[in-house]
Amino acid sequence: MSARGGRPDDLHGIYRRSLGLQGSWNPERMQNLGLAVALLPWLRRSGAAPVELRRFCRRHLEFFNTNPYCANLLLGGLVRLEADNLRDGATPVRTLTMFKDSLGRALASLGDQFLWLGLQPALMLLAVLSAWPGLIWPPLLVVGLFAVTQLLLRRHALLVGYDLGLDIVDLLGSPLWHRAIWTAKRAGALLTGVLAGMTAVSSWSRLADPGGATTVLGTALALGAALVLRRRWPGEGLLLALVPLALLLSYL
Amino acid sequence: MNPVEIAVWWPQIAATTLLGALLVLDDTAYAQTWLSQPVCGGVLAGLIWGHPGAGLALGLTVQLLSLGNLPVGQAFVGERVGPLLGAVGAAAASGWNPGLPFGGPGAEAGRLGWLLLAVALGSVLGDQLVRRERVWHTRLVAGAMRGLREGRLEVLERAHNASLAGVAVRGALTTLTVWLLVALLWIPAYSQLPERVVAALALLPWFAPAVAIGSLVELYGSRAGARWIAGGAAGTLAVAWTLAQLGAS
């Protein structure tokens, strides 16, 4: 089971499966099956007795939810603690469960703040703005770079998680997390401003065209409506709600 | 478009359907590389059909609409990948090549608005499909847990793989269905639309950045965030003004 540096060979298999953590996402227990399936390569080779195997699976089929990009830190730590537990009972089951639940929640919070509220809007804005003049390659380049980087980082996180075990908790106190969240959110805010500026310039430059004034007025009114309705509506819903406004403006 | 014309496009249709399966998997179920984000998905579908510009025009506009949608927990996720790929493919097959309304001439903005409307409708309807699929996952998990009582670990893998396969099949079928509907019904219906409706449709792509800014202001709308937004806007306007002055002189 063991390989170089005391890490199990199964980490490669766990990594591949960890990418599908959300593959069986369900409203009741969220990523539970994804987690259990990701840990199976290690479990199969652990030599645990059938009763222990069932207990292990039941333990990890409880509710589980975390940020998928940060999950490998937790998965690595979990394999380490389960291995310690199986070997000499060093980690009580209660500690294991607490580790999984509390770290899962903490990583969900930090990961969601960084990824969904910071990095994703910022990077996608960068992709959109780079494609604004009609260029097709810059958005593919931006996203391709992110894709490769995150896959490598997720692999690295699994190894770090395994090496650290319970000490992963110390990582969460690092100021780097908050600095990264702050930077990603400010970058997103700055690029939102750039998008607003470019929209203003693009619509203003069409003012002299036939229907140009309607375009400027429509964009301004749509922005006002989006600001009022933004809390409840997804983008696609907002667009559908704005169709009557477009019809109204077509009479001008 | 008749069945013979559709048959001519079968390699592109098959490739787009496969891309739909892969990108829907990438969206939330596997790897999440963000290549399934509309701006990339649109370009990739456009490349299959030899019209990457059309893919970019639609993909970029849909991307703007979805910038504020947060893919967490039970929030609205939409199903924009299949409708987007299907719409790009159908537009290319029908000889539509809508250009970008921002920075370009925007002569095809009405057609782009019509396609955008199809993708938005497809995404809202597809969201219900995603929710049902997730309820099906709950049943698969419950079944796997029952199988586990008999000590069979492979039932877990089987249930998980069935979920992944279900997601891929949904992606493929959504893409194919939207392609057929848009190519056979939606695009031909455009020529029947009154002039006033076409004028209204031409405005829809312009609403996309407004929707994006509205939802992003919500996201970054703290006092500090507002300063950065204002700074970005002021800087862009200053650069545009300087470039215009240099151009004039």
Mean pLDDT of chain A: 90
Distances (CA, A) of A70 to A2, B143, B169, B185: 24, 28, 28, 44
The residue among B153, B154, B161 with the most chain A CBs within 10 A of its CB, best to mutate, is B153
Is the confidence at residue B44, as pLDDT, over 70?
A: yes
pLDDT of A32 higher than 60: yes
Tokens of A23: 């593959």
Q: Which chain B residues touch A249 with a CB distance below 8 Å?
A: 200, 203
Over residues A54-75, the pLDDT tens digits come to: 888 888 999 999 999 999 999 9
Out of B197, B210, B237, closest to residue A219 by CB = B210
- Model confidence at B76, pLDDT cuts 50, 70, 90, reads low
pLDDT tens track for A93-103:
888 999 999 99
Q: Do B214 and A146 lie within an 8 Å CB cutoff?
A: no
Q: What is the pLDDT of residues B133-144, one digit of tens each?
A: 999 999 999 999
- The answer for residues whose C-beta is within 8 angstroms of residue B4's C-beta and 6 or more apart is none
Using a CB-CB distance cutoff of 8 angstroms, which residues of chain B are in contact with residue A153? none
DSSP A150-202: HHHHHHHHHHHHHHHGGGHHHHHT-HHHHHHHHHHHHHHHHHHHHHHHHHHHH
CA B211 to CA B63: how far, in whole Å?
Answer: 11
Nearest CA in chain A to B238: A197
Q: Which residue has the higher pLDDT, A196 or A50?
A: A196
Q: Average model confidence (pLDDT) for chain B? A: 91
Return the pLDDT at B139. Answer: 96
Q: Which of A128, A129, A154, A217 to mutate to test the interface with B (most CBs of B within 10 A)?
A: A128
Q: Which residues of A touch B71 (CB under 8 A)?
A: 116
pLDDT of amino acid B72:
67
Average pLDDT rounded to a whole number, residues B5-26: 94
Closest Cα partner for A242 from B204, B199, B109, B100? B204
- Residue B28 or B68, more confident: B28
- Which chain B residues are within 8 Å of A240, Cβ to Cβ? 117, 120-121, 124
Spatial distance between the Cα atoms of A34 and A10, rounded to a whole number of angstroms: 16
Euclidean distance between CA atoms B39 and B21, whole angstroms: 17
- For B215-244, b/e burial (b = at least 16 CB within 10 A) is bbbebbeeeebeebbeebbeebbeebeeee
Asked if A124 and B63 come within 8 Å (Cβ–Cβ), the reply is yes
Within 148-177 of B, beta carbons closer than 8 Å to A belong to 148-149, 151, 153, 156-157, 159-160, 163-164, 167
Note whether A33 contacts B160, CB cutoff 8 Å.
Answer: yes
Q: How far is the alpha carbon of B197 from chain A, nearest alpha carbon, in Å?
A: 6
Q: How confident is the model at residue B107 (pLDDT cuts 50, 70, 90)?
A: low
Position A3 pLDDT exceeds 60: no
ipTM of the complex: 0.93
User: Residues 2..21 of B with a Cβ closer than 8 Å to A: which?
Assistant: none
Q: What pLDDT was estimated at residue A226?
A: 85
| Chain A residue closest in CA terms to B62 | A236
Instruction: Using CA coordinates, name the residue in chain B closest to A234.
Output: B69
pLDDT band at A230 (very low <50, low <70, confident <90, very high): low
pLDDT at B124: 93
- Please state which of the ranges A16-30, A183-197, B36-50, B64-78 shows the lowest mean pLDDT: B64-78
Name chain B contacts of A70, Cβ cutoff 8 Å: none
Q: Do B204 and A243 touch (CB under 8 A)?
A: yes
**Stretch B127-132: mean pLDDT, rounded?**
92
pLDDT band at B73 (very low <50, low <70, confident <90, very high): low
Q: Does B95 touch chain A (CB under 8 A)?
A: no
pLDDT at A203 (0 to 100): 85
For helices A120-131 and B195-220, what crossing angle results, to 10°? 140
Inter-chain residue contact A40 with B157, CB threshold 8 Å: yes
Between the alpha carbon of residue A215 and those of residues A201, A239, B12, B94, B104, the distances in Å are 12, 15, 36, 27, 14
- Per-residue confidence (pLDDT) for residue B151, from 0 to 100: 75
Q: E strand or H helix at A205, and its extent?
A: none
What are the E-state strand segments in B32-182? none
Rounded mean pLDDT, A144-164: 96
Q: Is residue A163's pLDDT more than 80? A: yes
Q: Is the Cβ of B98 closer than 8 Å to some Cβ of chain A?
A: no
- Using an 8 Å CB-CB cutoff, list chain A residues near B231: 190, 193
Q: What is the mean pLDDT of residues B104-115?
A: 78
What band does B26 get if pLDDT is binned at 50, 70 and 90? very high
Structure confidence at residue A109 as a pLDDT band (50, 70, 90): very high
Confidence (pLDDT) at B5: 80
CB-based contact, B99 to chain A, within 8 Å: yes
- pLDDT band, residue A6 (cuts 50/70/90): low
Per-residue pLDDT, A115:
94
Among A37-51, A223-237, B24-38, B158-172, the least confident range: A223-237
State how far the Cα of B174 lies from the Cα of A33, in Å rounded to an integer: 25
Mean pLDDT of A4-30: 86
The confidence band for A1, taking pLDDT boundaries of 50, 70 and 90, is very low
pLDDT computed for residue A232 by the predictor: 65
Q: Cβ contact (<8 Å) for A191 and B232?
A: yes
Point out the least confidently predicted range of A229-233, B17-21, B178-182, B224-228.
A229-233
Band (pLDDT 50/70/90 cuts) for residue A92 is confident
For B163, the token pair is 């979920």
Least confident segment among A230-244, B62-76, B184-198, B207-221: B62-76
For A179-201, what is each residue's pLDDT tens digit? 999 999 999 999 999 999 999 99
- Rounded Cα distance, B56 and A113, in Å: 29
